[in-house]
Structure 1
Amino acid sequence: MDAFSDLIQLLHSYLGGHAFFPYLLIGTGVLFTLYLGFPQIRYFGHATRVLRGKYAKDDAPGDTSHFQALSTALSGTVGTGNIGGVALAIYFGGPAALFWMWVTAFFGMTTKFVEVTLSHKYREKTADGTMAGGPMYYMEKKLNMKWLAVIFAIATVVSSMGSGNMPQINNIAVGMNESFGIDKWITGAVLAVVLSMVIIGGIKRIAHFAEKVVPTMAAIYIIGALAVIFANLENIGPSFLSIFQNAFSGSAALGGFLGASFAYAMQRGVGRGLFSNEAGQGSAAIAHASARGKEPASEGMVSLLEPFIDTIVICTITGLVILSSGVWTEKHQNNFDRADMTYVQGSYSDKDAKNVNQLFHYLNTENEEDGGVKEFSGSINVQNGKAISNDFTLIAARSVAEDVTYYLNDEVYSGSIEIKDGKLSTEDVVVSGKSLVHSVKLTSEAFKRGFFGDWGQYIVSIGLLLFAFSTAIAWSYYGDRAMIYLFGEKSVLPYRIVYVSAFFLASIIDSSIIWDVALVTVAMMTIPNLVGILLLHKDMKQTVVKYWEHFDKNQSD
């Protein structure tokens, strides 16, 4: 598993983790924002009227209403990115990461507008009478670049597993286990059955499910979040201040948090922002292609509401809960994931300024400037669960671990453990102690600091269940549309079987590795999609101009 994790990290370093990626993503949004004259501001009000069905025509081709298409797309984006993803961004980059999530969302509103408009414009009707659309169709039909369309479609299938499927059930299973003590495999098995029952019905059943679940789940989650925010109202101002103060300098060390550089915070904020709202990824364009309508730009305008709702509203609320409660700098008792643990040579303390500076460089520069910190290799003797050596430091979840205890088969362990290149190689030993936490665990801790007390964690569990499960349902549709493009309609059933199987399997796999897989697969879709829409910038502008000409003519008639 460590070798697989290393491979995923290597791939990520060349894709979403490379320095060019955030500039490509945000830069595309900036270019289209300027080129189209800030459509996310100018068309916002019009988009809400289209969404309400003010201009809808019953004879328009398509499978779903504007609201159903938006709900389906939102069910695909409002998920673990809003609960676990925001927490992960703050865990990595501190308050500064939230600023870069906002930037990604603001310009992502335009990117979403562009990719959905073009996908709706070049959609096709399949043999069963339903609509199929997405970036692969405009890549082939308009750009005559079938090779790029095939790359995107393959990436969509892989990403449906790596970002739409596996992280969702993994976080649900963790949340249900921690809140209710339900075994992860039981959660995975039950929801896998329900998932299969919903996705068999295709886009119409998925859309009906989404339009009922999305508003409900948002209301439950926001009520719970506001209970924390109002309980910590005096910290809201300082929280906002820290976001803007750290935006261009990186986040300083605070409590158990060892700090994050500007580049690291920006990269993580952009990456989490993309994972949350998927603007630029091209995935939601597949759902919007099913919407009834004759004017592609009208559906594009509806879609620009997605990043606003998903990131600027819901992710901000989650971020304020975490920052105002202060849990993000605190160490919490937990069992450490092996992927989160690194043993380094020497004794380090986060109470020592010099040590903090050394560890900061080690954690934020990927060993290029490690501040003298070296990974530990060798044997460590353990007696009654405690290591009897002080020539190493355990870094767990990017923090100095405290009160570390070793267990084997639920009993305190005595013996020796082997460390190779900083990683624990002794099998079956469980390491427990105090460290920072991330993802769903961090959000759950934050929700305990409100008016509902410990009951707040159950709101996270319920919200996560609804958010993440609806995301997995939406992504099954994205994947099967990509499979139809690649191999025809006969490939849908085998894909769905694999999809449901992967959904169950991911419920019992290390969560850190799942998130790493998601980072890679998201970038695999995003890069070819951004290339495609940049090449079609003139087509996009002509489509918008044509829309307003038709709209003005119809209004005057």
Structure 2
Amino acid sequence: MMDRFEQIIDLLNNLVWGPPLIILLIAIGVYLTIRTRALQFRYLVYAHKLAFTRHDDNAQGDISHFQALMTALAATIGIGSITGVATAIAIGGLGALFWMWVAALVGMATKYGEAILAIKYRTTDENGEMCGGPMYYIERGMGWKWLAAIFAILGIGASFGIGNLVQSNSVSLAVQDLFGVGPLWTGIILMGLVGFALIGGIKSIGKIVGLLVPAMAVFYIIGGLLIIFLKIEAVPAAFVLIFRSAFSGQAATGGFIGATVMMAIQFGISRGVFSSEAGLGSSSIAAAAAQTDTPGRQALVSMCSVFITTGIVCTITGLVIAVSGVLGELGPDGQMLDGSAMALRAFDSILPYGGLIVTIALIPFAYSTILGWAYYGEKCIEYLCGIRTIKVYRVLFTLLVFPGAFLSMKLVWNLANMLNGLMAFPNLIALFALTGVIAKETRFFEGILKKEKLARKKNR
């Protein structure tokens, strides 16, 4: 019965992530890049400076620019950037990493557009907290309440999939592989920690992830760069193989079945979206809570998350796997290494106890991701059913952490991937329909930046 269910989910996942969605994701990203005059490249340095230095304490919002970015990163960096990359490479070959880069380059413009709209159309609830995201800009910007409701329903489903089951599953596998601790105890402990954090809402979540995410990101990046440095002679060949495989597929080696170009594109872009959330619209829910004087400023900060997750963390994971040569190796169970098990093996094969780097980073990353997605899900359910349903959602969300630790790896990933793809459709429709609004807000914001630049020159 379970095998049949897995087959159905696998089929639906392949249908959702077929050529139409992949073309739509890239096309919208390219279109927004053109309409914003490649803003993601022109303001990349300024955006990162803004994220880590500026504070708009007097502006409207619940959390700072930095906390909003960390909440968005909490929901993306980690499992998607470690386990997701390994899964994409295991199925699509090393060429999948190239297509993750492509998704990120155009996805930065998409992420920028989502955040602009989320802040422009945000509102406040009965508790005085900010509410924003695709369901609000679809309803208030387009007037299509039915489509906004569809997004909210899919957002709730995705919060249980990508934001919950995938995270607890990946942590459970990593802890079991490295420490021999069974999924029972992992599930119980993780469930307790999630329930404790959700009591305080977005402000509590913002504080926790504001501490966890930067510390763990730096720890993982340093560990990954150390391994790449130790195998520096293999890096040029790795890049050659990545680019070659992206356009010609990858031949089978060892237990690796071989990958076609279409598999590289499909899994590269889908896992790239999984990692950055560009196109899903979910991270704009966190952006809507930020303290900012104008939508464009927080939109630039939100855009940074794509560069950090895919451009830096995913690249490090992919290069470590490439230079380690573990692609195609079989695990103790006779199955080809995949997901967190592949990442652990790649790190361990080059650096003594290197797997500890992955596990130590993976656990808090997954925990912070669960918290970030819990916030997304509760804002979706608040939109549909009102503020009184949030407590019920939090209890249900916390309880579902436990079974995620036991589920099949393939089932969990396919289910989460399918929900991601479905959620992207209404959001991409809204982005296309509201591109004029994004372009107008961008021109207004660039006018503010020019005035600020002139003011600084006068004060010198």
Query: For this structure pair, what is the TM-score category when the shorter chain's length is used for normalisation?
Result: over 0.9
Q: Does 1:468 align with 2:370?
A: no
Name the residue aligned to 2:45.
Answer: 45
Structure 1 segment 202-281 matched on structure 2, within 5 A: 202-281=201-280
Contact 1:172–1:468 (CA<8 Å) still a contact in 2? yes
Q: Which amino acid aligns with 2:44?
A: F
Residue of structure 2 equivalent to 1:71 = 70
The 5-angstrom pairing of residues 162-177 of structure 1 reads 162-177=161-176
The corresponding residue for 1:306 is 305
The Cα shift of 1:227 comes to 3.2
SS in 2 for 1:282: coil
Matched with 2:401 is: 503
Any conservation in 1 of the 2:159–2:377 contact (CA below 8 Å)?
yes
Q: Secondary structure at the match of 1:129?
A: coil
Which structure 1 segments of 5+ residues have no match? 335-433
CA distance in 1: counterparts of 2:284 and 2:72, whole angstroms: 8
Provide TM-score, normalisation by structure 1: 0.80
Rounded Cα–Cα distance in structure 2 between residues aligned with 1:450 and 1:553: 52
Q: Which residue of 1 aligns with 2:458?
A: none
- Tell me which structure has the larger Cα radius of gyration: 1
Residues 56 and 64, structure 2, Cα contact 8 Å, conserved in 1: no
Q: What is the aligned partner in structure 1 of residue 426 from structure 2?
A: 528
Amino acid at match of 1:79: G
Whole-Å separation in 1 of the counterparts to 2:211 and 2:222: 18
Q: Which residue number corresponds to residue 539 of structure 1?
A: 437
Do the aligned residues in 1 keep the contact of 2:47 with 2:300 (CA within 8 Å)?
Answer: yes
Q: Which residue of 1 aligns with 2:110?
A: 111
* In the alignment, structure 1 residue 491 sits paired with structure 2 residue 389: yes
Secondary structure of the equivalent of 1:81? helix
Q: Tell me, in whole angstroms, the C-alpha distance in 1 between the residues paired with 2:53 and 2:295.
A: 15
Q: What one-letter code is carried by the residue in structure 2 that aligns with 1:33?
A: T
State the partner residue of 1:351: none
Task: For residues 244-300 of structure 1, give each alpha carbon's deviation from its aligned partner in whole angstroms, at most 9, with x where no partner exists.
Answer: 112111112223322111111100101110111110101110011100012001111
1:444 is aligned to: 344
SS at structure 1 position matched to 2:97: helix
**Distance in 2 (alpha carbons) for counterparts of 1:21 and 1:234:** 38
User: Aligned partners of 2:292, 2:177: CA distance in 1, in Å?
Assistant: 45
What is the match of residue 295 of structure 2? 296
Deviation at 1:34, TM superposition (A): 1.5
In the aligned structure 1, how far is the partner of 2:325 from the partner of 2:454? 56
Q: Does structure 2 conserve the Cα–Cα contact (< 8 Å) formed by 1:280 and 1:526? A: yes
Distance apart, 1:465 and its partner CA: 0.2
1:29 aligns with 2:33: no
AA partner of residue 229 (structure 2): F
SS of residue matched to 1:105: helix
- Secondary structure at 2:397 match in 1: helix
Question: Which amino acid in the other structure matches residue 384 of structure 2?
Answer: L
CA apart distance, 1:554: 4.6
Contact 1:169 1:503 in 2 (8 A): yes
2:98/2:242 contact within 8 Å kept: yes
Deviations 1:453-489 (A, max 9, x none): 2x11122111110111110010000000001100001
- Partner secondary structure for residue 349 of structure 2: coil
Q: Distance in 2 between matches of 1:57 and 1:315?
A: 31
* Distance apart, 1:555 and its partner CA: 4.7
1:126-177 deviations in whole A, cap 9, x for unaligned?
1101101101101001100001100000010000001111100001011111
Match of 1:280, SS state, is coil
Distance 2:249 2:386 in 1: 48
Query: Percent of counterpart pairs with the same letter?
Result: 40
Gap regions ≥5 residues in structure 2: 456-460
Partner in structure 1 of residue 125 of structure 2: 126
Question: 2: distance between equivalents of 1:490 and 1:94?
Answer: 47
Q: Relative contact order: is structure 1 or structure 2 higher (C-alpha 8 Å, sep ≥ 6)?
A: 2
2:388 counterpart letter in structure 1: K
Give the whole-Å Cα distance in 2 for the aligned partners of 1:507 and 1:516. Answer: 16
**Contact kept in structure 2, 1:79 and 1:168, CA below 8 Å:** no
What CA distance in whole angstroms lies between the structure 2 residues aligned with 1:316 and 1:554? 35
Check whether the contact 2:163–2:370 (CA below 8 A) recurs between aligned residues: yes
Count of residues in Structure 1 that have an aligned counterpart in Structure 2: 454
Matched residues in 1 for 2:453 and 2:216: separation?
37
The alpha-carbon deviation at position 48 of structure 1 amounts to: 2.2
Task: Work out the CA distance in 2 between the residues paired with 1:205 and 1:120.
Answer: 21
- Partners in 2 of 1:202 and 1:333 — Cα distance? 42
Aligned equivalents of 1:271, 1:550: Cα separation in 2: 36
Letter in 2 for 1:436: M
Amino acid of the structure 2 residue aligned with 1:19: P
Structure 2 counterpart of 1:30, one-letter code: V
Query: Are 2:79 and 2:365, in contact at CA under 8 Å, matched by a contact in 1?
Result: yes
Inter-partner Cα distance in structure 2 for 1:43 and 1:52: 14
- Which amino acid in structure 1 is aligned with residue 345 of structure 2? E
Contact 2:164 2:397 in 1 (8 A): yes
Counterparts of residues 154-193 of structure 1 (less than 5 Å): 154-193=153-192
Normalised to the residue count of structure 2, the TM-score between the two structures is 0.96
| Counterpart contact for 1:229–1:450, Cα < 8 Å | no
Worse overlay, 512-521 or 254-263: 254-263
Identify the structure with the greater helix proportion.
2
The answer (yes or no) to whether the contact 2:57–2:64 under 8 Å persists in 1 is no
